[in-house]
Amino acid sequence: MRAFTKIAGRAVTFAVFGASIAMAQSTNTAAAVDGRWDASLVSQGQVIPFRLDISGSGPALKGTLFDGSRPNDGTTSATFEANKLVLKLDQYQTTIIATLQDGKLTGSVINTRILPANVAAPKPADADANATDAERLTKVEFGENPYTSSSFQAVRHVESAEAEPADVPPIGGSWIIPLSTPSAKGENAFRFIVEQKGAYVEASILRVDGDTGAYSGSYKDGKWVLSHYDGGRPGVIEVTAAADGSLEIAQRGGIARKPVAQDGSNPQANRRRQAAGDAPSANGDAPQAAASDIVGAQDSGRFSRKLIAYRPEVERAKGLPEPDDYKTHTGVRDPNEVFKFSFPDDHGRLVSNDDPRFKGKVVIAMVTGTWCANCHDEAQYLVQLYAKYRSKGLEIVALDFEEPDQQKGLSREQAFVKHYGVKYTYLIAGDRAQVWEKIPYFTNLNSWPTIIFIGRDGKVKATHTGFASPASGEFYRQLDVEFTSNVEKLLAEKAPQDVTVARAVPVKAGQ
């Protein structure tokens, strides 16, 4: 009996010892980070919460970011070794680096055009020389800082045990936000789209160039604090239902850009900002807003700290301005002129509208850029549209405008094409500041993306400014109906008699 007791005691000791070893080993395996995390980054001093799901192991390890409750974008690669997690989103040139300690992930979100081999050095010139990577936060300005670093942390998600408030105001549906100062694109109003389930809300601000993605969060203490981050577009808004039935929307943060120099000291950077719609231009844009009323000292009504939203019927009764029409914002100078282009692909091969792949086809051309968050939304949609209609005679060509330093290696463009499985033609058209020179066929061409529908005769039949993602609800569905209708209508038309239509052949992504 004593012998049995001694053997049993040893077995228990070994079992406990073995469990301890297994537990220690598990902290260095993907299982230690698998699951849902409540993550946050800090931008401009503003904490921006977001959802991060981690799954898989080894080469299949993956991080997934969310657009509201919808899985939106994922990592291009991920590793977890020695308690260090590295999540790469090369399509945004964003990397999350964090260390797991005591069940918490702590580190940095790094966004860069050229990621340094050693993130700790060199630091941008305007950053605090004594700051750590986790503390450093530099403002983005095209053509300046090589990268930005924001502090990051994440804890395991735990379902809230709090009871839902009983006094939650109903705010679901569509709203209109009139602007006190026109946007740089000349807009006088935006849309605000809200999907509500009790206290939980997903909402997006829809502008002429696209939406903000879905801000999400729950009602507490008389307001909604909603946040969003999907690899780009970090931000927080606070939404309060006013006594008069309107909504007050406070924009609390995101990535800021420096004001455009008004003394002409950096004309190339200014043109780049103007082409992106971030600043007034000579192409029909509006004057600046007061610096005191904008987020990050921005120069456009779209960045106002406070916005007011009205129900459409109230907005119209007040005689307030309507949002721009996406189908007429950008006009065609001469509808009888053939739309011509000739740019290199990402392998340096020159491709033009005279290429056999486009002859007699219906073509969707778009002014795009991989730096543009709404262009990421657009690409995911167009990949599906192309798969559906390519065999019926549809071709798509992206006219991609990138920053000068991106054109040297095209690392983000190549990651973008690979990640989204782009199989349509991708051409490198130049720098954003050159858009009006390279694409001279339109009036008010000031938004990324801009979609151009071209008939079998090579002439422009319709344009659509911007892209409303699934976060825009009914407006995304309207866009889908519009795009499908345009394509099917143009496909039904016969090609000119002197044009031989090339047969569609399989291509690899990016070709």
Provide the Cα torsion 258, 261, 267, 269; round to 10°.
Answer: 0
* pLDDT higher than 80, residue 14: no
pLDDT of residue 25: 40
> 134 or 129: which carries more pLDDT confidence?
129
* pLDDT higher than 50, residue 128: no
pLDDT of residue 211: 95
pLDDT of residue 283: 30
* pLDDT higher than 50, residue 260: no
Cα–Cα distance measured from residue 294 to residue 301, given in angstroms and rounded to the nearest whole number: 7
The architecture that CATH gives domain 33-155 is Beta Barrel (2.40)
371-416 residue pLDDT tens: 999 999 999 999 999 999 999 999 999 999 998 888 888 989 999 9
Under the banding of pLDDT at 50, 70 and 90, the label for residue 359 is very high
End-to-end CA distance of the chain: 77
Top-confidence range, 245-259, 286-300, 408-422: 408-422
Q: Indicate the angle between helix axes 373-389 and 474-492, nearest 10 degrees.
A: 40
Phi and psi dihedrals of 412, rounded to 5?
-70, -40
Top-confidence range, 114-123, 143-152, 203-212: 203-212
Under the banding of pLDDT at 50, 70 and 90, the label for residue 129 is very low
Q: Which residues contact 374 (CB under 8 A, 6 or more apart)?
A: 209, 210, 211, 448, 449, 466, 467, 469
Instruction: Write down the CATH number for the domain with range 331-492.
Output: 3.40.30.10
How high is the mean pLDDT of the chain?
81
* pLDDT higher than 60, residue 450: yes
Under the banding of pLDDT at 50, 70 and 90, the label for residue 287 is very low
Cα–Cα distance measured from residue 450 to residue 82, given in angstroms and rounded to the nearest whole number: 45
- Asked whether the beta carbons of 238 and 249 are under 8 A apart, the reply is yes
* pLDDT higher than 60, residue 140: no
Among the ranges given (269-278, 459-468, 497-506), the one the predictor scored with the smallest mean pLDDT: 269-278
pLDDT of residue 156: 96
* Alpha carbon distances (Å) from 71 to 54, 59, 68, 292: 12, 20, 8, 37
155-207 residue pLDDT tens: 999 988 788 888 899 999 999 999 988 888 999 999 999 999 999 999 999 99
pLDDT of residue 498: 61
pLDDT of residue 147: 59
Among the ranges given (204-218, 261-275, 364-378, 429-443), the one the predictor scored with the smallest mean pLDDT: 261-275
The domains of the chain are located at 33-155, 173-317, 331-492
Among the ranges given (10-24, 342-356, 423-437), the one the predictor scored with the smallest mean pLDDT: 10-24
- Asked whether the beta carbons of 90 and 492 are under 8 A apart, the reply is no
Same topology, domains 33-155 and 331-492? Answer is no
Sequence letter at residue 81:
E
For the chain, percent of residues with pLDDT exceeding 70: 75
* pLDDT higher than 70, residue 3: no
* pLDDT higher than 90, residue 268: no
Stretch 244-256: mean pLDDT: 82
Stretch 490-510: mean pLDDT: 64
